[in-house]
Amino acid sequence: MLGERALEPMIQITDLSYAYPDGRRALDGVSVAVSPGEKVAIVGPNGAGKSTLLLHLNGTLRADGKGRVEVAGLEVTARTVRAVRAKVGLVFQDPDDQLFSTTVFEDVAFGPLHLDCPEDEVRERVRRALSAVGMAGHEGQMPHHLSLGERKRIAIATVLAMDPEILVLDEPSSGLDPRARRSLIALLRDMPQTTLVATHDMRLVWDLCPRTVILDRGQVAADGPTIDLLLDEATMERHGLETPAVSAPFYDRSRPAQALSPCHRRSG
């Protein structure tokens, strides 16, 4: 039974279209399937529909008639939204949209408390989540006294405390200095969860995600290995994107892809 589940996509988006109440069409026939454990980047110009797509994964927005979204074997509907949110951890671009308590502990404990976990388990989940993001020992601090990089880590811990099967992140590296950015990438690379990242940060895509989906005008314009898409200048330019600077000095088609980045090495 478990074996069969492992073969099924962890995320299955089928022919999803979505228009906002003002009539603006944000998604138009999007189909994407993501396997368990995959890390996939969603890239595209502003207004391409990336955030709208992410909001469908935890049921904040729902397919309105046309299309279907399934996560961890559950169809996302009004009826399943609570169960869906326990499986899909959505991390917003701005951690201040996610952190609202007076202490780090309360913020990270909030989700498990709402799952009606007993007190001991809440404490254990907070401990595990903070240690996973390298923030053990900060339980008593006020989130707004922490740096942006630390607040981003706590925001990730708030969703890890729910034990999600899927992590969905919107622009995780925005605003971070190079060191905080590198350590965030290393952290996300070690997470076992199926991960979807919407971002403009092509270095992050390169280092974290073996697969990339290009979204443009609400449609999937390309879907394939990051190493191919990001170095395809014509495709990148056509969709308002830039190839990452890393490619020029290090890329050499004659060498195996595994030599290019730790991320590709791990997945190979």
User: Of 50-58, 111-119, 187-195, 220-228, which part binds ligand ADP (CB under 6 A)?
Assistant: 50-58
Residue 238 interacting with ligand ADP (CB under 6 A): no
| Integer Cα distance of 167 and 188 in angstroms | 9
| Integer Cα distance of 196 and 194 in angstroms | 7
Which tokens sit at 222? Answer: 């390309």
| Integer Cα distance of 9 and 89 in angstroms | 17
56 versus 125: smaller Cβ distance to ligand ADP = 56
Residue 52 interacting with ligand ADP (CB under 6 A): yes
User: How many residues contact ligand ADP, by CB under 6 A?
Assistant: 12
Residue 93 interacting with ligand ADP (CB under 6 A): no
Instruction: Return the residue of 6, 15, 24, 144 that touches ligand ADP, per CB under 6 A.
Output: 24
Degrees to nearest 5, angle at CA 10 with 8 and 14: 85
Q: How far is the CB of 126 from ligand ADP (least distance, A)?
A: 31
Residue 49 interacting with ligand ADP (CB under 6 A): yes
**Residues paired with residue 12 on neighbouring β-strands, in sequence order:** 33, 70
| Integer Cα distance of 117 and 131 in angstroms | 19
Residue 100 interacting with ligand ADP (CB under 6 A): no
Integer-rounded Cα radius of gyration of the chain: 19
44 versus 95: smaller Cβ distance to ligand ADP = 44
Residues that bind ligand ADP (CB under 6 A): 20, 22, 24, 26, 44, 46-52
